[in-house]
Amino acid sequence: MNGNKPPVNSPEIRRLAPVIEPGHTYASVTDKIASIVLTRPTSKGWLAGFGLAFAIVMLLLVAVTYLFAKGVGIWGINIPIGWGFAIVNFVWWIGIGHAGTLISAILFLLNQKWRTSINRFAEAMTLFAVACAGMFPLIHAGRPWYAYWMFPYPSTMGVWPQFRSPLIWDVFAVSTYGTVSLIFWFVGLIPDLATLRDRAVNKPAQIIYGMLAMGWRNSARHWHRYQSSYLLLAGLATPLVLSVHTVVSFDFSIAIVPGWHTTIFPPYFVAGAIYSGFAMVLTIAIPLRKAYQLEDFITMRHLENMAKVMLATGLIVAYGYFFEFFMSIYSGNKFDLYLVKMRIHGPYAPFYYALILCNILTPQLLWIRKVRTNVAALFIMSLVINTGMWLERFVIIVISLTRDFTPSAWGRYSATFWDYATLLGSLGLFTALLFLFVRGLPAISIAEMRELVAHGPEDEE
Amino acid sequence: MTGEQRIHFHGLVGEFETPKDLLAAVRKTREAGYKKIDAFSPFPLEGLAEALDLGFWDNLVPQITLLGGLIGGLGGFFFQWWANVLSYPQNIGGRPLNSWPAFIPVTFEMTVLFASIFSVLGMLALNKLPQPHHPLFNSERFYKHASNDRFFLSIEAKDPRFNLVETTRFLQGLKAQNVTEVYDE
């Protein structure tokens, strides 16, 4: 029986693509990544892409200015649907922001080598997604100029925030997450900023990168402390990333609204966040590697692994949907049962079916290896999943709020032009920031890629 | 009066092509009794800290991180307790004023926030960064290659065993390339 079985290490068994294509040296890795920032001319594609994104940022500014002038009445929100698009978008963006820290921290602790070439831009993506997310509760506040009331500061009114409220937990969770992600990202950047400083071809670049690098000189004594700080940050960020979407889910599950008051929310929110985050990393990685010929560094192995993570977290999300459904029926609670009925037959049923199609049915294609290794298919899949995750938050918020306990409290919700303009605008802001990031900072960690070169490409499990 | 008076001799720096050469050289330099040495690599090199014999006092980052976590956690919890129990008590659904489980999420976030900030600021402070200038940056080879593809070893002139002729010969004997003297104005 063992006679015709190939040995474990044979190419037939290990059909994995390498995490870095062979033939690279320390210098070639440095050159290739640093040149994108330092020497390559700004391409027409970059200008066109950034221009378009910037135009959409202008739309966001118009939408937000009009909002500040007129108030939240320009949106489709009403009583009982006080949350609407603003909170749907908030939860969606903060979910997307989970992949960066997951890749950087959790995969770092698990010593997964394939994280190396995607962690930098995934972290940048996290920061920009958190920035987009943080914007929505602020502009949704009605009087955004009082947003600082949410923070505990010694006010002349003599009051303090109510720390028993999940909304205050949310303020702390999201702002801590934003801060720690920024620190983590910046610490990872320091050695690369030193590389850019040393290779800068003009004075302004040398001064700017030099100031940011803070005089890093690759000393072994510095690396020693640097590594333990980086490891500790990874260890701290790991529970943090799980806590953030848990706290976001508390915004819902601590309330008694039908469809929200359920204990499955925290784990299934976290899984959904990772699901949408990886989808967004793919959405960015695929055009990025194409535009800057980074196929050597972001290999098929990376894309396939991300597809597998999406498949796994997608199944957890599917399990969450199923159990929401099951618990409503099993509990016999008539309000919960009615909510399930509203999801299937109610006025927003098309959204629910679209959600099932995007988040549960389509991703099952990822079981097929041919799909996982087809770049175009993965790109489309990532867009479908992101749409699905947005729909999930829409279904959770709108269906539950429109079908409360008493029929007199029922309502309808439809978004206005300004709702869509703000959502589109936040996408534009996200994209514009990404364009600036790719042009101004190394999108792949150069120091970590050198480490991969040192260990050799075949150093796999 | 002229610039010459202010010139400061920092030490010697030698260059190596592979991590292995650097590690071997560092070990031999320490065996030869040099103390004021430092190694440079374009990525964190496994075994280099051991070769330099860096001990407990060379890395206090974990302790600083722990301190930050304790300050954040305890401060976070007792601040909430003080604010919602003593300073501004409110009856929420008849729950006890010190409803501590409700204070845990913010306590956790503050622990992580303070530990992270302490960790990074502590790391930078112990590394004496920001330090915009260092004599080694005057070495052309060091500046061009330390953050790219080469491995360096420096011996400072302050070292009691340092002797320009002998130490230069010693470094060359370790297969170091481009052994250069580093000056600073």
Residue B127, chain A, CB below 8 Å: the answer is: yes
Residues of A in contact with B105 (CB under 8 A): 166, 169, 172-173, 243, 247, 250
Query: Are A95 and A279 within 8 A, CB to CB?
Result: no
Residue B66, chain A, CB below 8 Å: the answer is: no
- CB contact under 8 Å between B120 and A229, yes or no, is yes
Helices (H), chain B: 3-6, 19-31, 48-51, 61-81, 104-126, 140-145, 164-173
Search chain B and give the residue with CA nearest A158.
B88
Residues of A in contact with B114 (CB under 8 A): none
Q: Which of A251, A252, A258 is nearest to A342 (CA)?
A: A258
Q: Which of B61, B108, B127, B79 is nearest to A180 (CA)?
A: B108
Query: Are A177 and A97 within 8 A, CB to CB?
Result: yes
CA distances from A373 to A196, A254, B3 (A): 34, 42, 64
- CB contact under 8 Å between B49 and A161, yes or no, is no
- Interface A-B, measured as beta-carbon pairs within 8 A, has a size of 193
How close, in Å, is residue A141 to chain B by CA atoms?
21
Q: Report the amino acid identity of residue A450.
A: R
- CB contact under 8 Å between A30 and B149, yes or no, is yes
Residues of B in contact with A159 (CB under 8 A): 88
Residues of A in contact with B48 (CB under 8 A): 220, 223-224
Give chain A's residues under pLDDT 50: 1-3, 5-14, 458-461
Q: Which of A231, A241, A358, A378 is nearest to A309 (CA)?
A: A378
- CB contact under 8 Å between B44 and A451, yes or no, is yes
How do beta strands B37-40 and B177-184 pair?
Answer: unpaired
Of B39, B52, B105, the CB nearest to A169: B105
d(CA A412, CA A348): 10
Residue B67, chain A, CB below 8 Å: the answer is: no
pLDDT at site A13: 43
How do beta strands B37-40 and B8-16 pair?
Answer: unpaired
Q: Where along chain B do its domains lie?
A: 3-56+135-184, 61-126
How close, in Å, is residue A215 to chain B by CA atoms?
5
Query: Are B79 and A152 within 8 A, CB to CB?
Result: yes
2.40.128, 3.30.420, 3.30.70, 1.10.10: CATH of B3-56+135-184:
3.30.70
- CB contact under 8 Å between B61 and A243, yes or no, is no
Contacts of A42 (CB under 8 A, 6+ apart): A439
pLDDT at site B24: 93
Search chain B and give the residue with CA nearest A157.
B88
Search chain A and give the residue with CA nearest B151.
A218
**Selected residues 12-41 of chain B with any CB under 8 Å from a CB in chain A:** 19, 38-41
A155 token code pair: 């006010």
d(CA A296, CA A207): 31
Read off the pTM.
0.91
How close, in Å, is residue A217 to chain B by CA atoms?
7
Block mean pLDDT (10 aa), chain B, length 185: 67 92 93 91 91 89 97 97 93 89 96 97 95 90 90 92 90 89 86
d(CA B126, CA A105): 23
pLDDT at site B4: 53
Query: Are A298 and A289 within 8 A, CB to CB?
Result: yes
- CB contact under 8 Å between A161 and B144, yes or no, is no
**Percent of chain B that is helix, strand, coil (3-state, to 5):** 55, 15, 30
